[in-house]
Amino acid sequence: MDSSRALTGLCALLLAVGAAAGPASAAPADPAPAGAALTDTAPAGAALTDTAPARAALADPALKDPALTDPAPGSPATREFGNGPERHEVAATAPELRGSAATPLSATPDQPWTPKRQGYPRQTELRVYPQDLADRSIKLGLVPYHAIAPRLNALQDASDRVSAEVVGHSALGRDLYLVTVTAPESAAEAARQDRWRALIENDPRAAARDRALHRGYKTPVWINANIHGDEWEGTDGALRVIERLATATDQATAALLRRTRFYVTVTNNPDGRIAGTRANGAGFDINRDHATSSQPESRAVRDVVIATQPLVMLDEHGYTGTTLIEPATPPHGQNYEYDLYIKHALPNALGMEAAVKGLGLPGTESVDIPFRDYAPGDWDDWPPIFTPMYAIYQGAVGHTVEIPWQVNRAAYTSLPVEELRRRSAVNTAVAAATIEAALTYADTHRASLLAGQIEQFRRGWAGAPSPRIPDGFVPGFGPEDRYSTEFPRAYVIPVGAGQRSAPAAARLVDHLVAHDVRVTKARRAFSLNGRRYPAASYLVDMHQPKRGLANVLLEAGRDISDLVPQMYDISGWSHRLLWGASVDISRAAAPRVSTTPVRAASATGSVTAGKGRDLALLLRDPADVRATNALLDLGVKLRRTDAGTVVVPAAARPEAEVLARRFGVRFTAAPRGSAGTPFTRPVLAAAVAADELFALREMGFEVRPVSTALLNAGADLSGVDALVVSSGLSYAQLTAAGKAAVDDLLSRGGVVTRGATGAAFNAAAGLLPGTAVAGRGDANGVVAVRNTGAVIGADALPHAFVYSPIWFTGSGFTVEQRYAADPLVAGHWLPTGPGVGGPDQAAGQASVVSGRTARGGRAVLFGTEPLFRAHPKGLYAEFARALYWAAG
């Protein structure tokens, strides 16, 4: 279509509203300033909270993240790499997380969004934010965040095809919008669409036979825009399409909307859109969070994709020098029904390619389709962390779309405004063209797409093996594209004595349910594979519609090092191995026991000791650490008897009972006469990545962020008990005054480090002897370890996560943990050269070490990634144990 279509008088009005939106005229009665933290009460069951003002952003100009540098035009490195010697050092320059250690990051209650039970339109008067002239999109001639709500409100007033809703809130509390464009529906018609959607998932065999469904089901298409805040134009392109569909008077558009529901999450990252940052207001890359759902923005789109069940979805990104449209290169996720996906993904991409080329604009002459154009590993779809890959497991044909012209980062500050706006205009046209083409494809191929989604869910319910896809199934498909797995029959999450951590098990169950994985609970005790399980144990029967998602979250994964030369991002993860809960696999047999569906995990908190007895709390989960820090905040005198056991005096039983209910932790009876070492909640100074800061505060630690620049500017370390170093702090670059402050802390307190920056700090400050040896910089995955020291504890998890792995050689320290003899369980880890930097060289070497420093303090050095992207929940407690010991 013509990308420069002139809109009618309504669209002129919309543009005027967008330009004028601001100050007092459109503001609600209780507006929050743009950029301010919007506060609300945390929901029941959330972390114990207090309040604190937002803090200023950190800045260390000496640091530059390799992932944020400007790539050479046309280079394969123009993709969104986060790989490098030190992963995401950007955290040192990212906006600091707001609030105190106990303040929740989500400023509004994070309840799952579900559609209203009514017809269409289902319109909401969106609150209007005050004008924010600092919004970075304004310079590009794009729609600033504060103008989006007025624009959508005007559309709703003028068109009964448009509905707008708030489906969640950003990390800083801004509204996340979902726009639905469709022909009006009565309440009865909308309810019938809901029944059909449920039938497709819950009884696909019946859905396949339902002729009325095949005639009348509206094709759902979902567009997710602006998930990376400084990749703006997906929002503007989507708004262009929304406005065309809302205002068009031709019969073809009217007929399309009678057959289609067009859903758009207009900006998935308003915090980043305003600030001009890739990350959200908490410093997270949302497009790496879909398996973990640590951020409110990823939880919001999770709920959207589950509720709308799209057949096709696009995630609009930028900028790669030329338009890029997935499908991706191998390795392909082994849990996909890949034949059903690639059958449509490739021709849909070809249609979008033709639409982009048809624009005839500068920079639209060529399009890259990684499946067709790139080498294996250059742009893969292996992990479920990306929005389109996650959507595939939910039944959609998902695509990442990268628009061509760079306008962010160095280009934003160096290019003239006129050039930036020229580029943004082209990018907006490209985004709109891909969306229009995807809509056309979905409508043209609606019957086949619907049959494919039905078949995906049918295979899941039937436990059918994924078919072998022949060479040439689509043009270019060959042996390098053939990935599949054998699904287990069931997973069991035991309760009672066989469960390592009740809070971890409950978290995992709730996480699975929130992602629409079916979990049931046994009505009575049962036996499976020679093991006895108590009643109320949880079952994940793999005969279910979204078995691929269930398996990709729970399986160990696979070592794919020998299959491709490199990976786009992480290649190993496992909730079963890294979240701290005991989870058993049944490869062939299903439990023979009556079950009930689980909507939420059962409460796990308890105090089982008799009255008058001291209590014991095992530090195995972040919830246990959170409860410990809450007790310390209340002034309770705690003792540690070993790495993982905290003793609570009998007099604090009332406080323990409250926290047991709040955090789901279990207090048991402490052995009589337990002595132990008294300790307090440490005050931490932390030069860490955003995910690590998030995790530390989630566990209830008081954290004062520092960096080289802040220390050189006189940051106060008095009252600090331990220093945490993983990003943004160079001992060698400290001024004399900065070194003096750090040296004083190191002489009286402790230090815990992680990664290359931590190892360099240890060496420069002369703390523990020995040598840090680095593995390949992009190596990552789940590794097997042996816990050998008293600081981490022998009961720590036997698995860890690595990204740019490190190990320590030499002597003069205690080895807390070693890599196993065959360390890599799942992921991608090649040597840097023959016999150098690979898993064979890491085997048996020290991955975590501790000791007394020459300065008199204590130090723990991690070569693993215990807090990576807030994902490996089961490793948090190990890091907390190290902090308590080092600060003691």
Which pLDDT value is given to residue 620?
98
> With 0-12 CB in 10 A as exposed, 13-18 as middle and 19+ as buried, what is 714?
exposed
Query: What is the b/e burial string over 345-363, where b = at least 16 CB atoms within 10 angstroms of the residue's CB?
Result: bbebbbbbbebbeebebeb
Q: Of the candidates 308, 292, 302, 474, which has an alpha carbon nearest to the alpha carbon of residue 387?
A: 302
pTM: predicted TM-score of the whole model, two decimal places: 0.89
Residues of the chain with CATH 3.30.70.790: 606-679
Residue with tokens 């609570």: 648
The pLDDT score that the predictor gives to residue 255 is 98
pLDDT (0 to 100) of residue 116: 77
The residues with which 806 forms a beta bridge, in sequence order, are 774
DSSP 544: S
The listed CATH number (3.40.630.10, 3.40.50.300, 3.40.1050.10, 3.60.20.30) that belongs to domain 9-22+156-462: 3.40.630.10
Distance in Å from the first CA to the final CA of the chain: 67
Annotation: CATH topology of 683-887: Rossmann fold (3.40.50)
Q: For residue range 246-266, list pLDDT tens digits in order.
A: 999 999 999 999 999 999 999
Only one residue has tokens 């990709």, namely: 552
Q: What are the DSSP calls for 692-760, one per residue?
A: HHHHHHHTT-EEEE--HHHHHTT---TT--EEEESSS--GGG--HHHHHHHHHHHHHSEEEEEHHHHHH
Three-point CA angle 498, 499, 502, nearest 5°: 150
Q: How many Å apart are CA 158 and CA 560, to the nearest integer? A: 54
Half-sphere exposure for 520 (CA within 13 Å, toward CB): 18
Residue 110's pLDDT is 59
Rama region for 664: left / alpha / beta (φ>0; ψ in -120 to 50; rest): left
Residues of the chain with CATH 3.40.630.10: 9-22+156-462
Tokens representing residue 64 in the block: 């530059």
Every domain range in the chain assigned CATH 3.40.50.880: 683-887
Of 201, 402, 702, 816, the catalytic one is 402
Phi, psi of 626 (to 5 degrees): -60, -45
DSSP-derived 3-state class of residue 275: helix
pLDDT (tens digit, 9 = 90+) per residue, 130-151?
999 999 999 999 999 999 999 9
Tell me if the domain spanning 606-679 has CATH number 1.10.1200.10.
no
Q: What pLDDT is attached to residue 117? A: 78
Per-residue pLDDT at 799: 98
Q: Give burial (CB, 10 Å; 0-12/13-18/19+) of 416.
A: exposed
Give me the residue label for tokens 């709500």.
Answer: 149
Rounded to an integer, what distance in angstroms lies between the CA atom of residue 95 and that of residue 93? 7
pLDDT of residue 115: 78
Q: What's the pLDDT score for residue 782? A: 98
pLDDT of residue 54: 24
Is residue 264 classed as helix, strand or coil in its secondary structure?
strand
3-state per-residue secondary structure call for 353-419: HHHHHCCCCCCCCCEECHHHHCCCCCCEECCCCCHHHHHHHCCCEEEEEEECCCCCHHHHHHCCHHH
State yes or no: is 96 an active-site residue: no
Low-confidence ranges of the chain (pLDDT < 50): 1-109
Residue 393: name the closest of 451, 474, 313 by CA: 313
Q: Which residues pair with 729 in a beta bridge?
A: none
- In this structure, what token pair is assigned to residue 277? 């940052």
Which of 429, 455, 434 has its CA nearest to residue 388? Answer: 434
319: preceding bond cis by omega (within 30 degrees) = yes
Check residue 654 and give its pLDDT.
Answer: 98
**What are the tokens at 496?**
């009672």
Task: Name the nearest CA neighbour of 515 among 307, 219, 224.
Answer: 307
Supply the pLDDT for residue 106. 31
Distances (CA, A) of 640 to 503, 615, 619, 637, 643: 20, 12, 10, 10, 7
- Provide the b/e sequence for 191-221 (b: ≥16 CB within 10 Å): ebbeebbebbbebbeebbebeebbeebbbbb
Q: How far is Cα 566 from Cα 82, in angstroms, rounded to an integer? A: 13
Q: Evaluate whether 491 touches 586 at the Cβ level (below 8 Å).
A: yes
The whole-angstrom distance between residue 297's C-alpha and the CA centroid of its chain comes to: 9
Q: Is 612 exposed, middle or buried (0-12, 13-18, 19+ CB in 10 A)?
A: exposed
What is residue 99's predicted lDDT score, i.e. its pLDDT? Answer: 29
Say if residues 135 and 267 touch (Cβ distance below 8 Å): no
